[in-house]
Structure 1
Amino acid sequence: MTTCVPKVFAFHEFSDVAEAVADYVVYAQNIALRPKESNNNSKRPSISSTSVVNNGNNLNAPMDGLSLDKSSRSSSRSSSTTSASTSISHQSTVTVNKLKRPKEIRFKIAISGGSLIQVLHEGLLKRTDIRWDKWDIYFADERLVPFESSESNYGQSKRKILDLIDTEKYGTPNVFHIDESLIDDPQECADAYEKVLIKGFAGRDSVKLPMFDLFLLGCAPDGHIASLFPNFQDNLREKYAWVVPVENAPSGPSNRISLTIPIICHSHRVSFVVEGAVKAPIIKTIMERPEKGLPSSIVNEGAAGRVSWFVDDDALNDVFVLKKKYKFREVGSSNTTT
């Protein structure tokens, strides 16, 4: 594996990490929404005769199955032309009305659980420029436990973030979580969540991989990201499935599901959020020994140029890496640098 150096933003305090991550999330949100909204206003669908024919109209077919003679065809052609013109006008209006409806532009974000949720709680809820009503929130992974459990990523997100949003002021995001009734069957749960992704990203179109605007991840002391563990089963080598079941996990809740490495690496932006001295040894391996093939190192390689790390000083203790200062970009931030 080659060495791909991601952007590493270093911070003195936990609160600094939370503030910067929130600013970066809003930046990604605005990039996802602004250009497409302006482009949609300038686009006008074109109508061709093909679109009308495809609606089932054959203007040259005889009426009622009768064969017309030459003179009849001549007079009939004139009236048919008028009728056809009216029909085309009507069909074109219907077709334009259908095509005029642009697909709603959404900010599609994936988040994992653990300490990342607290970071988002501290940072996001202070912002006044989050367009929650435009968000589609998916989960990078889920522990197969009831939502009321403190181990549930969705449950934790709901209690610490979603339930605290001022929905009357900012609107309500779309949240896509697992089917809680399937937590006893990891494979079925993974298959069902993959169908949720297909519906959200593919619809009637065939797409090889979903593309998130932003994928947010933490990194555990043992090196796992989402629910993809180092040297465990074959999940890190999965190339085709969007979601995989994880059974008998080495730590934490035994059964889980997880989005796969190709999904993570296909995102527009990938950000890791890591804090605490307990993470320093694994961060050192990720940054200095990428050939070890830890999940984060694989993502650093696979999404090269699109990966950012938000890390506090404790987690970078004795880690040899080029640190950058984060520059706040969006209105609603402190507009300071760390």
Structure 2
Amino acid sequence: MTTTVPKIFAFPEFDGVAEAVADHIVHCQNMALSITGKETVQNESGTASITDNNIITNTGNTATSNTPIHSNHNSNVDLQSRLSMLSLKDSGSGKSISSMDSHTNHHGNHNHGHTSSSHGHNGHHNKRKSSVSGASGRKSSSSVSAHKQHRFKIAISGGSLIEVLHQGLLKRIDIRWGLWDIYFVDERLVSFEDKQSNYGEAKRKIFDLIDIEKYGKPKIYHINEGLIDDPLECSDDYENCLIRGFASKDTVRLPTFNLILLGCAPDGHIASLFPNFQENLRENQSWCIPVAKAPSGPENRITMTIPVICHSQQISFVVEGAVKAPVIKTIIERPEKGLPSSIVNENAAGRVSWFVDEDALTDVMVTKKKYVFHT
């Protein structure tokens, strides 16, 4: 492995990290949406907000029902065949698709046509059904169908990153939430009510606090909570979700996110990719894999793989605290150790940036760059 040094932006305090990360996200959003103009208006409270042009109201959805396909994570997966089996059929009336397929329950019965239209998990629905929180947009005079519009596709991990996003994003008035598709790079297989759930914490600290009347509602793609006792089935289910969301638009080889946001733990793991789990780090066929017996935190998890992460247009690590300094030193100064983030730095060279506080760079020999705000 060669020595590939990514862009490293350092800040004296946590607030500086949060503000810069939020600015970086908005910049990636604007690039993805190819924004050429936006209208700032005054709402009733006197706060400026963004009026989106050419956004179609999401009025309803139709989806076919399919049985989940369980892949062998050690074999070559024929994603084109899986895409054909999982393809969603548009209703033909200009409506965007925002519901996931129903899935076979434990007794082999098929449930059809389930649509989730709220951010949170609805306990009254069958938990065996995949979940996506629906997005709504503002009405437009344009007749352009919603599924042809540009959308900002972002994947986030959990842990301390959620607090960074809480501090940085909710202050912004230039986020077009209604055009966001939000996925999770990994998930701990626990109840959404558990504080260790990535989706659960993001929902409580970010999604539930969005003023959807002003900014629209994002589409949020989380795991099926009903599958948390079966890591393999849960990972297959989420991989199928990724195939539906990306394969027909980008490539059947790998999904292309506009931005992936990651943290880095003191033991060097990113997402749920752990340094000593070499088979997981070498996986190059599946998009999402199960993780059993994780050495820290909840034992059972799912995670996107290294090729999926490295295929994103931009990858950003967000790290803070002196406790992270030793692992950052190894990542930057000893890339040959092959920690997961070092692999990403190498394989996605030129598209990786790190946002860190000064404490995380204690005794680390690295050239720091000054972050230039875009807005």
Indicate the TM-score class for this superposition, using the shorter chain for normalisation: 0.7 to 0.9
Distance 1:36 1:262 in 2: 32
Give the TM-score taking structure 1 as reference length: 0.78
Matched, 1:8 2:53: no
Count of residues paired in the alignment: 272
Q: Is the CA contact (8 Å cut-off) linking 2:250 and 2:256 kept in structure 1?
A: no
For residues 181-330 of structure 1, what are the structure 2 equivalents within 5 Å? 181-203=226-248, 207-330=252-375
For residues 162-173 of structure 1, what are the structure 2 equivalents within 5 Å? 162-173=207-218
Aligned partner (choices 132, 152, 174) of residue 129 of structure 1: 174
Aligned partner (choices 172, 176, 184) of residue 139 of structure 1: 184
Distance 2:278 2:196 in 1: 22
Shift in Å, 1:105:
1.1
Whichever residue aligns with residue 2 of structure 2, its letter is: T
* Local SS of the residue matching 1:176: strand
Distance 1:162 1:136 in 2: 12
Distance 1:245 1:207 in 2: 21
Shift in Å, 1:221:
0.2
Distance 1:292 1:36 in 2: 44
For residues 47-58 of structure 1, what are the structure 2 equivalents within 5 Å? none
User: What are the Cα deviations for residues 19-70 of structure 1, in whole angstroms up to 9, with x where unaligned?
Assistant: 0000000000000001699xxx9xxxxxxxxxxxxxxxxxxxxxxxxxxxxx
Which structure has the greater CA radius of gyration? Answer: 1
Match of 2:219 in 1: 174
Shift in Å, 1:243:
0.1
Question: 1 or 2 for the larger relative contact order (CA 8 Å, sep ≥6)?
Answer: 1
Whichever residue aligns with residue 252 of structure 1, its letter is: G
Shift in Å, 1:103:
1.4
Q: Is the CA contact (8 Å cut-off) linking 1:36 and 1:105 kept in structure 2?
A: no
* Local SS of the residue matching 2:286: coil
Shift in Å, 1:207:
1.7
Shift in Å, 1:227:
0.1
Match of 1:27 in 2: 27
Distance 2:332 2:205 in 1: 31
Aligned-residue CA RMSD (Å): 2.0
Unpaired segments ≥5 residues, structure 2: 38-52, 54-91, 93-143
Whichever residue aligns with residue 18 of structure 2, its letter is: A
Distance 1:206 1:125 in 2: 33
**Identity of aligned pairs, percent?**
71
* Local SS of the residue matching 2:10: strand
Distance 2:36 2:252 in 1: 19
Match of 1:46 in 2: none
Shift in Å, 1:206:
5.2
